[in-house]
Chains A and B, each alone.
Chain A
Amino acid sequence: MSVTVSVTVNGTKYDVSDVEPRLLLSDFLRETLGLTGTHVGCEHGVCGACTVLVNGDSVRSCLMLAVQANGAEITTVEGLGTPVALNTLQAEFREHHGLQCGFCTPGMLITGEDLLRKYPLATDDEIREGLSGNLCRCTGYQNIVAAIRAAAAKRAEAVT
Chain B
Amino acid sequence: MRPRNVGAPIKRTEDPRLLTGRGEYSADRKPDRPLHIAFLRSGQPHARIARIDTAAAQTSPGVVAVFTAECITGDFKPVIPFSRMPNYYATPIVPLATGKVRYVGEAVAAIIATSRYLAEDALELIEVDYEPLGALARAELAVAGDAALLHEEAGTNVLIAREFKKGDVAADLKAAAVRVGGRFEMTRKAPLAMEPRSYTAEYDKRRDAITLYTSSNIPGIVRDAISESLDLPGHRLRVVAPDVGGSFGSKGSLYPEELLICIAARKLGRSLKWTADRLEDVSSSSQAFAEIVDAEMGFDANGVATSLQADVIGDVGAYSIYPWTCGLEPVQVVSFLPGPYKIASYRGAVRGVATCKPPTGPYRGVGRPISTFVAERLMDLGGKALGLDPLEIRRRNLVRAEEFPYRIASGIIWDKTGFVECLDAAAEAAGYEHLRVQQAAARKQGRLFGIGIASYAELTGIGSRIAVAPGMPINTGSETAKINIDSTGGVTAAFGVASHGQGLETTLAQIVADDLGARFEDVRVIQGDSDEVPMSTGTYASRSAVLGGGAAKHASRILQDKIKRVASHLLEANQDDIEVSDGKAAVIGTDRAVTFKQVAKAVYSDMKTLPVEAREELTATYTYDPINGTTAAATHIAVVEVDPATCFVKILKYVVAEDCGRIINPMIVDGQVHGGVAQGIGAALFEELIYDDDGQLLSASLVDYVIPSAPEVPAMDVIHIESESAVAGGFRGMGEGGTIGAPAAIANAIADALSPLGVDVSILPMTPERIFRLMEQARFNARGKADE
Contacts and interface: CB of A to CB of B under 8 A. Distances in A.
Contacts of A4: none
B240 interface: no
Interface string B695-723: 00000011100010111010110000000
Contacts of A127: 710
B278 A105 contact: no
B246 interface: yes
Contacts of A82: 20
A78 B19 CA distance: 9
A94 B711 contact: no
Interface in A74-95: 76-78, 80-84, 86, 90, 93-95
Nearest to A144: B710
A42 B702 contact: yes
Contact of B117 (A22, A93, A104, A128): A22
A137 B15 contact: no
B243 interface: yes
Contacts of A143: 670-671, 674
B16 interface: yes
B194 A94 contact: no
A129 B710 CA distance: 7
A80 B25 contact: no
6 contacts: A39-B195, A101-B500, A139-B674, A139-B678, A140-B676, A143-B671
Contacts of B576: none
Contacts of B17: 83
Contacts of B403: none
B133 interface: no
- Chain A CB within 10 A, most for which of B15, B20, B678: B20
Interface in B128-183: none
Contact of B244 (A84, A101, A131): A101
A11 interface: no
A81 B20 CA distance: 6
B709 A131 contact: yes
B501 A101 contact: yes
Interface string A113-126: 00000000000110
B675 A137 contact: yes
A36 B674 contact: no
A44 B16 contact: no
A46 B503 contact: no
Nearest to A24: B117
B436 interface: no
B486 interface: no
Given A97-B671, A128-B710, A132-B711, A44 B248 contact: no
Contacts of B11: 94-95
Nearest to B738: A140
Contact of B277 (A34, A35, A43, A94): A43
B28 interface: yes
A57 interface: no
A93 B15 contact: yes
Interface string A2-24: 00000000000000000010110
Contacts of B21: 35-38, 76-78, 106
Contacts of A47: 194, 278, 702
Interface residues of A, number: 61
A140 B677 contact: yes
Nearest to B364: A137
A23 B710 CA distance: 31
A139 B501 CA distance: 10
Given A43-B277, A49-B194, A132-B711, A101 B245 contact: yes
A38 B117 CA distance: 19
Contacts of B18: 99, 102, 105
A102 B23 contact: yes
Given A100-B671, A140-B674, A141-B710, A94 B245 contact: no
B27 interface: yes
Interface of A: 20, 22-23, 30, 34-44, 46-47, 49, 76-78, 80-84, 86, 90, 93-95, 97, 99-106, 109, 124-125, 127-129, 131-145
A137 B16 contact: no
B111 interface: no
Interface string B42-55: 00000000000000
Interface string B1-33: 000000000011011111111111101101000
A105 B715 contact: no
A100 B17 CA distance: 12
A132 B23 CA distance: 24
Contact of A41 (B196, B670, B710, B738): B196
Contacts of A41: 194-196, 245, 278
B679 interface: yes
A132 B709 contact: yes
Nearest to A106: B21
Given A94-B16, A143-B671, A144-B710, A36 B194 contact: no
B588 interface: no
Q: Which 7 A-B pairs have the closest CB atoms?
A: A37-B21, A103-B245, A102-B18, A101-B501, A140-B674, A140-B678, A100-B501
Given A86-B19, A100-B502, A139-B671, 19 more contacts: A36-B28, A44-B701, A76-B21, A78-B20, A78-B22, A97-B670, A101-B193, A102-B18, A103-B194, A133-B709, A134-B710, A135-B709, A136-B194, A137-B193, A137-B707, A140-B676, A141-B674, A142-B713, A142-B715
A103 B713 CA distance: 19
B385 interface: no
Interface of B: 11-12, 14-25, 27-28, 30, 117, 192-196, 243-246, 248, 275, 277-278, 500-503, 667-668, 670-671, 673-679, 701-703, 707, 709-711, 713, 715-716, 738
A90 B22 CA distance: 13
Contact of A37 (B14, B22, B674, B701): B22
A46 B246 contact: no
Contacts of B501: 100-102, 138
A35 to B, nearest CB: 7
B709 A94 contact: no
Most buried by B among A40, A77, A138: A138
Nearest to B21: A37
Contact of A134 (B15, B245, B709): B709
Residue of A46, A106, A124 ringed by the most chain B CB atoms within 10 A: A46
A128 B461 CA distance: 35
A86 B12 contact: no
A105 B710 contact: no
Nearest to A146: B715
B716 A142 contact: yes
A102 B679 CA distance: 17
Contacts of B677: 140
A101 B713 contact: no
Contacts of B23: 37, 102
Contact of B246 (A36, A80, A103, A144): A103
Nearest to A81: B20
A141 to B, nearest CB: 4
Given A41-B278, A100-B503, A131-B709, A36 B27 contact: yes
Contacts of B277: 43
B30 A135 contact: no
Contacts of B716: 140, 142
A139 B675 contact: yes
Contacts of A40: 27, 275
Nearest to A129: B711
